[in-house]
Structure 1
Amino acid sequence: MTAGDPKPVPRSPEAVAEGLDDEMIRQVVHHFYAAAREDPVIGPVFRAHVPDDRWQAHLDKITDFWSSSLLGTRRYDGRPMPKHLAISELNDDHFRRWLALFRHTVTQLCPPKTAQLFIERSERIAEAFRINIGMARGEDLMFRPKLTREPYP
């Protein structure tokens, strides 16, 4: 690695060595989504598309998603893209805010390498969703810049 190379992203075994397990993932998901639901930018989207009576099921599904993604548990079997494609108001402001709040949450709750792993994975997921949503909407993606990082207040 040279001086100009980005920091390597930790692998799951490094995060597991720091304590990453299903309980940590559950804590991250529950803390993040409690804050997200009250957030002035992304909260209205969550409240409009995930009613109260489906909120716990949503948390369980997202916990399974992160467990599958970071620990390889294979518990997640959903298809998140169609649900996100159906949210017509979803835009880059929502993605930036989601990522800022997520970075804040994992930085507060997780050891450094684990937080870095969550952050890297969330940023890749957000970019993939943006590209798929943009393609579905017929947007020109050729020169679309990556999301900029928004600070969390």
Structure 2
Amino acid sequence: MSPSLSRAGEPTTDEAIAEGLDEAMVRRVVHHFYDLVRADPLIGPVFHARIAEGHWPEHREKITAFWSSALLGTRSYSGKPMPKHQAIEELEDAHFRRWLAIFRHTVTELCPERTAALFIARSERVAEAFRMNIAMHRGDILTFRPPLTREEFP
């Protein structure tokens, strides 16, 4: 989906930019989010097992580029995240729910209302896409797989 297009009821990128969305805000969100993720007892270990201490700055910049591309259309991200996530055998719905809860908390805390709503809508689509692709990769049957439920921030 183009950054300028939105689904019905979802804030547009233009609305978020009018509220102050820029690359600096995306960077603040990503950095604060990963501070919380690294300390989380459920998903922190998943990240720590794959990202060495000295590689966190690089990872944060890569994810900042991802969100800048997704929301602002910067085209600064060129990675292929799906294969890396498919290789994480322990990833389950609980991990995705926690990731989303921490993400919602972060953007609600740091962003204006419409910008937070845009981040949340996109993050939920990203999580569902990853979740479904991982399930297909594992050979799971997806016919009656309900969407993720929301978890509150710890």
| TM-score, length basis structure 1 | 0.95
1:44-102 residue CA offsets vs partner (Å, 9 max, x unmatched)? 00100111121111000000000000000000000000110111001100000000000
Secondary structure at 1:77 match in 2: coil
Q: Which amino acid aligns with 2:32?
A: H
Residue aligning to 1:130: 131
Residue aligning to 1:89: 90
Residue aligning to 1:48: 49
Residue aligning to 2:26: 25
Secondary structure at 1:76 match in 2: coil
RMSD: 1.1
Q: What is the distance in 2 between the residues matched to 1:79 and 1:115?
A: 25
What percent identity do the matched residue pairs reach?
A: 64
Q: What is the distance in 1 between the residues matched to 2:83 and 2:141?
A: 20
Residue aligning to 1:119: 120
Return 5+ residue gaps in structure 2 as ranges: 1-6
> Which 4+ residue blocks in structure 1 deviate beyond 2 angstroms?
none
Shift of 1:38: 0.7
1:97-152 residue CA offsets vs partner (Å, 9 max, x unmatched)? 00000000000000000000000000000000011000000001000000000011
Secondary structure at 2:38 match in 1: helix
Residue aligning to 2:16: 15
Is 1:140 paired with 2:148?
Answer: no
Return 5+ residue gaps in structure 1 as ranges: 1-5
Q: What is the distance in 1 between the residues matched to 2:48 and 2:10?
A: 33
Is 1:68 paired with 2:69?
Answer: yes
Shift of 1:7: 7.0
Secondary structure at 2:49 match in 1: helix
Residue aligning to 2:3: none
